[in-house]
Amino acid sequence: MNTAFWLITACLLMLVGMIWLALAKPVHWKQVLGAQANYGRHPVKALQRAGAISLLLSALACLAADHPSMAVLVWIMLLALSTFITAMILSWRPHWLQPLITVRRLTQS
Amino acid sequence: MEFASPRHAMTWLHTWLGLIFGFVLMVCFFFGALSVFDREIDRWAIPETRFDPQPMPSFDQVLLPAYQRMQPDQAEYDRMMPLYHDPAAGPMTPRNELPVDEYWAYTTHRDPVLQIGVGFRVPHPLESVGHNHIHANTTIDPRTGDEVPNSALKIGSDWFYPLHYSLNLEWNSVGYYIVGLAAFFMLVALVSGIWMHRKLFRELFTFRPWKSRLRSILDLHNLTGVVALPFHFFFALTGLIIFASTFYMPVSDTLLKPLHEQQEALEASQNGLPHERSGIPAPLASVDAMVLEAKRLWAERGMAGEVGFLMVSHVGDANSFVSIYRAGSDRVALVGEAIHFRGSDGSLLLQELDHPAVESANEFLTGLHLQHFEHWSLRWLYLFGGLLGCACIATGFLFFIEKRKFQHAREGQFGSRLVEACALACVTGLLLATLAMLVANRLLPEGDQRADWQKWIFCGAWLASLLHGFVRANTHNAARASAAWYEQVWLISILAALAVLTNAITTGDHLLRTLLLEPYMAVAGVDLVLLVCALGATLTARYLQRRHEQACQRVLPSQPASALLDGGAA
């Protein structure tokens, strides 16, 4: 597999992971679901676990793409980029994140 | 001074250190971020060098004739020769008769042109040990060996890049010390910022633009500071490490100088690389043959690569040796895997296989800051990190102003307006100066003074931005920001578009050509970023102007800043 594929994979895994970690926080859960947040359970642990695994997989994708010394830098910088993007989506377009919660709910049901 | 709690002390420290050194740090972060693409900005600024990156050229055919044409730098000779020369040993050797002692050449995967240099020996030195060299540095076209004219200023690597670590203040290296102090206090500001934040993880993703202005500015300040915290921390730290031994803690050149020289001599005797000239003349064997052998040895070790750095020491002497370093394009360290050959016959002297842990750590830390590796995604991520740093500092300024402006207006103090004018010069002013320089680069006629004029225009535009900030500062209505913000942003928008236009007109390298017809991404990239800047500035200027006009119609609110922070007026 080529470097570009692994880098894009790392980027997407990191973004999804950060979004799940953000959704594990009640304030952001409510931001995304609005009034629906009052119905049903908030799967905090599941979201945290999914987020952590996604970040770990992202690190592995970085290692698949580059020399380990470079992969560390890419991973740390992707962490910054993904956190910033997540914060911006939560601020301006929180409803965009509803599909990710749906995926979690489907996997739980 | 007494504080109610450690947190209050940290808040005081963070506020005032951030304010005082924030102006310097803004310059460091902004031009540091631009330096990520310094070579690409050079290509944009010097159209004659718009060709593909070249590998290290033949030493025997191209470099040696170029070195032989070079003369010691006149200014350095005038400044340093009286310090190096021992008058008791004889008259001072004229500049163009100084004998050559070393050659070097350095290139990266992004360089179409090549930086080379010669070190000239002082025949009667005051101190026999130490680095008594008068230098000559230049840039050549590696395809022909022809010198790139001095009037062609490398705006990226010779202006923006040194600006971020020395402020281009060469007098007594004062700029290096100012930046070093700012970097150190940035580390303090980061630690104090974390201490006072308290909700670092709970509010990691928090930005609430719908809340009060003060609250949303603070959110953005925290967000941009925290998400790139490792980047901010490591870049301040590695910036200090890079210059620590030269400027900030030069013990090897002061207190421990005798020990340092003993250690150098000991290392030379252990590794077989002659420390001193022998005094016996000897010609230089073919360096091209040594380069071929070095490449073969790298390939044998499973790390085939190109030459990044090449150096010939003790030129013309029997103790001469040639050091060939592999370009670190595929890893973080700048160069590595050095192989040394005897200069007179080309025999192998030493292969550096493993470095001590401390040296490897130092190479990694400096390499991650200087980023000469071939990794375009990481390069863009670095640019993003640098701009986050700028946003963090800028929002820090805005928070300082917003928090105090009503109180200052009521009490007739000028403090927040003074900070606003300085912040203008450090936020929009930096962009204006940069863009004015790029436009001047495309419009100024050819001539010896062209490089100087570009520098003066940069400084003039920056100063004009500061003066404009002072002139437009309003002390009578604290509810509105200075009109200078949107006026300068409008100018940024115009200059960014003008830079793209002048590049297309004066060189013919419009985006259609550099993107599609004859792709040349270095120039296309700079043009595209300029266009994005123009578009972003237009939208921002319209927003700021609208808000300013609305604020002009409002009455000065009477509530204190703390009420606004808790979610009061917008």
| Cross-chain residue pair A80–B332, CB shorter than 8 Å | no
Name which of B206, B231, B364 is nearest A80 (Cβ-Cβ): B231
| Cross-chain residue pair B377–A80, CB shorter than 8 Å | no
Name which of A70, A77, A92 is nearest B332 (Cβ-Cβ): A70
pLDDT confidence bin for B534, thresholds 50/70/90: very high
Per-residue pLDDT of A44-67, as tens digits, reads: 999 999 999 999 999 999 999 998
Q: Residue A1: what pLDDT? A: 59
Name which of B206, B373, B382 is nearest A70 (Cβ-Cβ): B373
| Cross-chain residue pair B231–A69, CB shorter than 8 Å | no
Percent of chain B with pLDDT over 90: 71
Per-residue pLDDT of B147-174, as tens digits, reads: 987 678 999 999 999 999 999 998 889 9
| Cross-chain residue pair A7–B377, CB shorter than 8 Å | yes
What are the C-alpha distances in Å from B88 to residues A43, B78, B92, B96, B124? 84, 19, 10, 21, 9
Q: Is the pLDDT at B241 greater than 70, yes or no?
A: yes
Q: How far apart are CA B215 and CA B208, in angstroms?
A: 8
Backbone φ and ψ for B459, nearest 5 degrees, come out as -65, -40
Name which of B228, B333, B378 is nearest A74 (Cβ-Cβ): B378
Q: Is the pLDDT at B569 greater than 50, yes or no?
A: no
Q: How far apart are CA B223 and CA B459, in angstroms?
A: 32
Residue B321 is encoded by which pair of tokens? 């040796």
Domain extents in chain A: 3-108
Q: Does A27 touch chain B (CB under 8 A)?
A: yes
Query: CA of B226: which chain A residue's CA is closest?
Result: A80
pLDDT in tens, chain A (109 residues): 588 999 999 999 999 999 999 999 999 998 888 877 777 788 899 999 999 999 999 999 999 999 898 999 999 999 999 999 999 999 999 988 888 776 555 555 4
> Are the beta carbons of B309 and B104 closer than 8 angstroms?
yes
Domain extents in chain B: 51-166+247-370, 415-474+480-554
Three-state secondary structure string covering B306-372: CEEEEEEECCCECCCEEEEEEECCCCCCCEEEEEEEECCCCCEEEECCCCCHHHHHHHHHHHHHHCC
Task: Specify the length of chain B in residues.
Answer: 570
Residue B225 is encoded by which pair of tokens? 């500071």
| Chain A residues closer than 8 Å to B385 by CB | 77, 80
Residues 29-88 of chain A with CB under 8 A from chain B are 66-67, 69-70, 73-74, 76-81, 83-84, 86-88
> Are the beta carbons of B391 and B350 closer than 8 angstroms?
no
Query: CA of B231: which chain A residue's CA is closest?
Result: A77
Query: CA of B209: which chain A residue's CA is closest?
Result: A91
How many of the other CB atoms lie within 10 Å of CB of B542? 14
Q: Which is nearest to B561 in space by CA: B413, B422, B408?
A: B408
Name the interface residues of B facing A (CB cutoff 8 Å): 202, 204-209, 223-224, 227-228, 230-231, 330-333, 364, 368, 373, 375, 377-378, 381-382, 384-385, 388
| Cross-chain residue pair A84–B208, CB shorter than 8 Å | no
Residue with tokens 């009109």: B483
Residue B509 is encoded by which pair of tokens? 């390298």
Q: Residue B318: what pLDDT? A: 95
DSSP type of residue B139: E
Lowest average pLDDT, out of A102-106, B87-91, B508-512, goes to A102-106
Q: Which is nearest to B318 in space by CA: B288, B340, B343?
A: B343
What is the β-pairing status of strands B114-121 and B133-140?
Answer: antiparallel
CB pairs < 8 Å spanning A and B: 72
What value does the mean pLDDT take over residues B14-31? 95
Q: Residue B415: what pLDDT? A: 84
Q: Is the pLDDT at B555 greater than 70, yes or no?
A: no
How many of the other CB atoms lie within 10 Å of CB of B410? 12
Interface test with A, best of B232, B377, B383 (most A CBs within 10 A): B377
Q: Residue B56: what pLDDT? A: 96
What value does the mean pLDDT take over residues B176-199? 92
| Cross-chain residue pair A77–B231, CB shorter than 8 Å | yes
Residue with tokens 């308290």: B198
Per-residue pLDDT of B413-472, as tens digits, reads: 888 888 999 999 999 999 999 999 999 999 999 888 899 999 999 999 999 999 999 988
Q: Which is nearest to B432 in space by CA: B459, B398, B452?
A: B459
| Chain B residues closer than 8 Å to A22 by CB | 204-205
Give the DSSP letter string of A8-74: HHHHHHHHHHHHHHHHTSHHHHHHHHGGGGGSS---HHHHHHHHHHHHHHHHHHHHHHS-HHHHHHH
Residue with tokens 């990190």: B385
How many whole angstroms from its chain centre is CA A71? 19
